[in-house]
Structure 1
Amino acid sequence: MRVLKATALLALAASVLGFPQGADPANFPTASAVSAPIGESAQFVSSNPTGLSQSVAAEISSLYPPQERSIAYSPCVELPQGSGDTPKPDTPAVFQSYSVFAQVARSAPIPPGYRQTFGNLQASCNAQGYLGYASMRSYNPTMCAAFCNKTLGCQSFNIYYERDPTLNPGPGCLNPASTTFIKCVLWAGQVNAANAVNTGQWRANFQVVIAGSNGYWTGK
């Protein structure tokens, strides 16, 4: 799925979430639940975060600049690469059971001003009030919280490891090697175990799966 320019994302927000451009996401009406896109490096639906410190900017995908892409990838086109470990052997089951991912998620600190709503799940959130996401250089809830704090209307976030293909699956590369994205997904509403139901998807013979998924909420 391609990353859209800011203007296109604002239009997407208006059409999908049902609010006018420039509206405060904290006042969004009830909308259909959505999930963050699979793959890619970043997507900002409400607005690009501003005022990020250098340390936070170095962690998120401002250093993985979104690329303008065609509506549909051609089969076997090289896709953006993540920064997480790639467990071996390269299978979905090994990815989900990888002890390093579980250990990092379980020992992750709770950022100041947040409460943890779930931990170390194998699913990401499918919720209301989606604000966008960025890929990170490391699994760092504190930096993800700082990203949320600088994004209009953000009240919670979901951080996790995602197994993605290195090539667009299709004829000639039905099950390519994987890469691991560390995603920080922002939400205007609450994330919790009840809406952490997105377990991934099949892309041809390649299986996208998730591990080490933690959720945090401001309690507002």
Structure 2
Amino acid sequence: MWGGDDSSRLYALHRFVDVYPTITKPERHVRFNEKMWTTTFVLIIYFAMTNVMLYGLSGQALDLFSGFRSIMAGASGTIMHLGIGPIVTGSIIMQLFAGAKIIRLDLSNSEDKAMYQGVQKLLVLIMIPIESIPQTYGFLDPQEFLIDSYGLGWANFVIVAQLFAGSYLVFLLDELVSKWGIGSGISLFIAAGVAQSTFVGTLSPLPATSGVPYSLQNPPSG
């Protein structure tokens, strides 16, 4: 399919794009109530994932980007730790390449557009370990029992594997919403993350400083 001067070099990746798992696009009109149920189902899964903690993660692990987690639709210390970061990063890189004419694709052409989207999906798969490995080896320390049982290398691999699974599932959910739901999955997850943090932060009865009794100097964090 790659014809050198006649087509983009990205067509050399068509074998990988063809076998990449994807959400099937509907071949019929999707009714509004179906879109609503799909979007609601995806939201339930999203909120559930934000409460699934990473197995074997140390309680002393740091999160230097905790203030940005809601914007990136992530949740610190969970399988949603990376949020939509890999998806957004992969999309930005492809847009930069296309805008700078580094890749020669005519997005008004259906075949070129399909190849563009397919390569973008492959790039997301690459970005997940690129983002998860530095954070795991830098800040997300595994628990001692995991290190004692499997060694530091395998303990870190367990953390990375969970981050990969969570991020890939988010990517599939984004595609599911885009094809079968309402709007964009990325926008939906950002809105849900911000709404969740705002709601919890406003109504939380926990004291601002944990372990210290309530007082005027230590009111409820909400």
Superposition TM-score tier, normalisation by shorter sequence: under 0.3
| Structure-1-length-normalised TM-score | 0.26
Larger-gyration structure (1/2): 2
Query: Larger % of strand: which?
Result: 1
| Structure-2-length-normalised TM-score | 0.26
Query: Larger % of helix: which?
Result: 2
